[in-house]
């Protein structure tokens, strides 16, 4: 099937489902709808208007709705509205049926009183599991883990472990890794389902499990969790407290979402925009709201640049030609700074740059600045000399480019490293911010040199 045919097909199915909803054809609707993948169900749900959503809630059980709701991605503030559309008992049951980690994600978007009221009317066991997860800080391992894992004992046979797995499979987040705990719930080992099914049924778990189990602390940064799962190709990672008690597991699908979120976050900040995603259906006002804060900050930084140039008004009045190279020098400074920034931010994010590697990186960046600055400086000198027939002017612009590129490269690398040391997310030293700072520096260098050597200019 070609892609456009597939899209046609989907559109047809969607229209058919909407008709069945409108005509209240419960059985026909359920037969078609429940046959779809939960992700597609979620996509369908997101497209519905309020009336059709009400019709849908009538036709589905809280459990069926839970599968859909796990897939729904709407702006954070909309979760509250969606839940209040449902009967409170229906909503509470749905939350109880969702994967604990997904339910917690939804609850985190609600008012405290609302959370409390749902937890009160909810099935007690589910409420307890959710409460346990609710208090972990955002962006930590605890906030993305689930407590629906299967734990077994070391002193049981493979056969009895398989029985547990078969029994627990429907409720567990994954059964492909099973974690082994001792009597005090300390994590002592791990065994994959792959190893379980090839092992002899009478073997003891302690003989086939791996004791080299990589675990993360519940307070670990989610970015570090993603790094470990990527490097070690795990499908699930156990989460422990400081005494090595097994608290939960993180599955690979959650880590993929984290990676996506972090990549989009770094990207947004490099572009100077508060959130680059959820474009679809966003109004121009919504888009402007995300961009204006940055633009206003930059406006005032730009005013500082303007007032800085204003101080050199005498120089400018005498040699107006100087003005034509302002964008060139400022642009080069901004770009080289952004390059150095990007390398440093990615290096920190991927864990390539550790504390001990920072000085090395700065030295490397300084030398890189000398090389790029030297090359560009010579090129500029020659071009300006040939073009304007004034070697002194050429040298002035060239030397400014040389000095600017070294300083800008160092600034671009230093600021994120310094922020990381202060435990601030280095990505907030966003692209436009670095660009504008380097703009300022470049003008100071350029006009400083020009004023000093003005006597020599034609």
Of residues 414 through 453, those in contact with a copy of itself by CB under 8 A are: 431-432, 435-436, 439, 443
Q: In 3D, which of 70, 65, 75 has the Cα closest to residue 100? A: 70
Per-residue binder mask for a copy of itself (CB under 8 A), 137-176, x = binder: -------------------------x--xx--xx----xx
Q: Does 382 bind a copy of itself (CB under 8 A)?
A: no
Least separation in angstroms between residue 124's CB and a copy of itself is 27
Q: State which residue, 26 or 36, has the beta carbon closest to a copy of itself.
A: 36
Q: State which residue, 19 or 163, has the beta carbon closest to a copy of itself.
A: 163
Among 266, 395, 396, 441, binds a copy of itself (CB under 8 A): 266
Q: Does 219 bind a copy of itself (CB under 8 A)?
A: no
Q: State which residue, 116 or 292, has the beta carbon closest to a copy of itself.
A: 292
Q: State which residue, 28 or 295, has the beta carbon closest to a copy of itself.
A: 295
Least separation in angstroms between residue 179's CB and a copy of itself is 16
Q: State which residue, 280 or 422, has the beta carbon closest to a copy of itself.
A: 280
Least separation in angstroms between residue 148's CB and a copy of itself is 14
Least separation in angstroms between residue 112's CB and a copy of itself is 30
The stretch among 127-135, 144-152, 372-380, 450-458 that binds a copy of itself (CB under 8 A) is 372-380
Residues 29-68 that bind a copy of itself (CB under 8 A): 35-37, 39
Residues 227-246 that bind a copy of itself (CB under 8 A): 229-233, 235
Q: Does 381 bind a copy of itself (CB under 8 A)?
A: no
Q: Does 339 bind a copy of itself (CB under 8 A)?
A: yes
Residue 191 and residue 209 in contact, taking contact as beta carbons nearer than 8 Å: yes
The stretch among 15-23, 136-144, 181-189, 278-286 that binds a copy of itself (CB under 8 A) is 278-286
Q: Does 130 bind a copy of itself (CB under 8 A)?
A: no
Q: State which residue, 140 or 268, has the beta carbon closest to a copy of itself.
A: 268
Least separation in angstroms between residue 166's CB and a copy of itself is 5
The stretch among 111-119, 149-157, 180-188, 264-272 that binds a copy of itself (CB under 8 A) is 264-272
Q: Does 116 bind a copy of itself (CB under 8 A)?
A: no
Q: Does 370 bind a copy of itself (CB under 8 A)?
A: yes
Q: State which residue, 310 or 455, has the beta carbon closest to a copy of itself.
A: 310
Q: Does 313 bind a copy of itself (CB under 8 A)?
A: yes
Among 361, 399, 419, 445, binds a copy of itself (CB under 8 A): 361
Query: Could you write out the three-class secondary structure of the chain?
Result: CCHHHHHHHHHHHHHHHHHHHHCCCHHHHHHHHCCCCHHHHHHHHHHCCHHHHHHHHHHCCHHHHHHHHCCCCCCCCHHHHHHHHCCHHHHHHHHHHCCHHHHHHHHCCCCHHHHHHHHHHCCHHHHHHHHHHHCCCCCEHHHHCECCCCEEECCCEHHHHHHHHHHHCCCCCCCCEEEEECCCCEEEEEEEHHHHHHCCCCCEHHHHCECCCCCEECCCEHHHHHHHHHHHCCCEEEEECCCCEEEEEEEHHHHHHHHHHHHHHHHHHHHCCCCCCCCCCCCHHHHHHHHHHHHHHHHHHHHHHHHHHHCCHHHHHHCHHHHHHHHHHHHHHHHHHHHHHHHHHHHHHCCCCCHHHHHHHHHHHHHHHHHHHHHHHHHHHHHHHHHHCCHHHHHHHHHHHHHHHHHHHHHHHHHHHHHHHCCCCHHHCCHHHHHHHHHHHHHHHHHHHHHHCHHHCC
- CA distances (Å), origin 386, targets 118, 306, 399, 401: 76, 30, 16, 17
């Amino acid at each position: 099937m070609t892609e456009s045919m597939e899209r046609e097909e989907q559109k047809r199915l969607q229209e058919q489902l909407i008709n069945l909803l409108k005509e209240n054809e419960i059985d026909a609707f359920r037969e078609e709808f429940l046959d779809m993948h939960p992700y597609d169900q979620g996509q369908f749900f997101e497209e519905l208007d309020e009336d059709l959503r009400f019709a849908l809630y009538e036709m589905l059980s809280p459990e069926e709705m839970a599968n859909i709701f796990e897939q729904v991605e709407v702006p954070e503030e909309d979760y509250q509205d969606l839940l209040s559309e449902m009967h409170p008992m229906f909503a509470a049951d749905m939350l109880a049926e969702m994967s604990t980690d997904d339910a917690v994600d939804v609850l985190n978007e609600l008012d405290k009183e609302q959370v409390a009221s749902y937890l009160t009317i909810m099935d007690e066991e589910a409420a307890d599991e959710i409460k346990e997860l609710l208090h972990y800080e955002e962006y930590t391992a605890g906030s993305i883990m689930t407590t629906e894992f299967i734990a077994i004992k070391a002193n049981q046979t493979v056969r009895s472990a398989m029985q547990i797995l078969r029994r627990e499979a429907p409720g567990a987040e994954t059964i492909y890794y099973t974690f082994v705990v001792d009597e005090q719930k300390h994590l002592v080992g791990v065994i994959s389902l792959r190893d379980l099914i090839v092992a002899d049924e009478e073997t003891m778990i302690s003989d086939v499990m791996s004791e080299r189990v990589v675990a993360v602390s519940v307070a670990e940064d989610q970015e570090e969790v993603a790094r470990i799962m990527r490097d070690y190709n795990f499908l699930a990672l156990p989460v422990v407290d400081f005494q090595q008690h097994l608290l939960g597991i993180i599955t690979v699908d959650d880590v993929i979402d984290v990676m996506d979120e972090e990549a989009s976050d770094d990207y947004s900040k490099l572009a100077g925009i508060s959130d680059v995603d959820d474009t679809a259906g966003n109004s121009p006002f919504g888009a402007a709201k995300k961009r204006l804060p940055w633009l206003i900050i930059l406006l005032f930084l730009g005013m500082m640049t303007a007032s800085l140039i204003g101080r050199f008004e005498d120089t400018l009045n005498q040699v107006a030609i100087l003005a034509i190279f302002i964008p060139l020098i400022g642009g080069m400074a901004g770009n080289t700074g952004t390059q150095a920034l990007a390398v440093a931010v990615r290096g920190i994010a991927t864990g390539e740059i550790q504390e001990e590697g920072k000085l090395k990186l700065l030295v490397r960046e300084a030398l890189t600045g000398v090389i790029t600055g030297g090359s560009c400086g010579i090129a500029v000198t020659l071009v300006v000399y040939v073009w304007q027939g004034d070697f002194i002017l050429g040298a002035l612009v060239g030397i400014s480019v040389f000095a600017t590129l070294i300083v800008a490269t160092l600034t671009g690398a230093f600021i994120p490293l310094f922020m990381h040391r202060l435990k601030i997310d280095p990505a907030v030293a966003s692209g436009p911010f670095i660009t504008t700072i380097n703009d300022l520096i470049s003008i100071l260098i350029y006009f400083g040199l020009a004023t000093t050597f003005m006597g020599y200019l034609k």
